[in-house]
Amino acid sequence: MSWKLRRTHKISLVTLLLIVFVAIGQQQGWFGTAEKGVVTNQPGLYAVDHFVDGDTIAVNMNGAVETIRFIGIDTPETHKPNTPVQCYGPAAAAYTKNRIGNSRVRLVSDSLSTNRDRYNRLLRYVYLADGTNLDQELVAKGYAFAYVSFPFTKSDTFSTAQTNAQKQHLGLWGNCKPYQESNGRWQSNNQA
């Protein structure tokens, strides 16, 4: 066998192995994707296992249940230990549950945010199947406060949505007496 023929066979074999490796890697999800500064881990749509409250859900990720904390927002509390139910907390929890319903959600991480919070919950933007960013919608409709103490890429957008909801007295802005703590974080008054 000539030197050129052996070289051609080696190149063909290496090419074939590379194609097989890439095909298996794509099938197994070894390669992530990035879009405009937001890294999307675990691409795809996930079924909701159960609803925790207005800003937290649990989803089935490849057979394991993961608790997801929405990035950039805070809804009034409904069942935090040693904390009374806050005004508009039950409404926010019901809105999240009704808005998602039996649909699947897409989860997107944020390059400025950590992957998990101190409670080991995954931090993600939650998108509905129609492309709606539910985190932003909750703020825009007055069901949630925009976070000010943690960096995230959509902070300006969420802050604008909150200002508009305040001006229009939407949701908790028209039904509660929100107040701002010294650290800048918004809170809802306790439910009567």
**Active-site residue, selected from the candidate residues 6, 104, 116, 121:** 121
How many residues in the chain? 192
**Active-site residue, selected from the candidate residues 66, 69, 124, 137:** 69
Angle at 102 between CA 97 and CA 106, to 5 degrees: 85
137 catalytic, yes or no?
Answer: no
Q: How far apart are the C-alpha atoms of 68 and 110, rounded to whole Å?
A: 13
CB 161 within 8 A of CB 122: no
106 catalytic, yes or no?
Answer: no
**Active-site residue, selected from the candidate residues 6, 7, 35, 77:** 77
Q: Which H/E stretch holds residue 27?
A: helix 3-28
Q: How far apart are the C-alpha atoms of 50 and 68, rounded to whole Å?
A: 11
Q: Which residues are catalytic?
A: 69, 77, 121
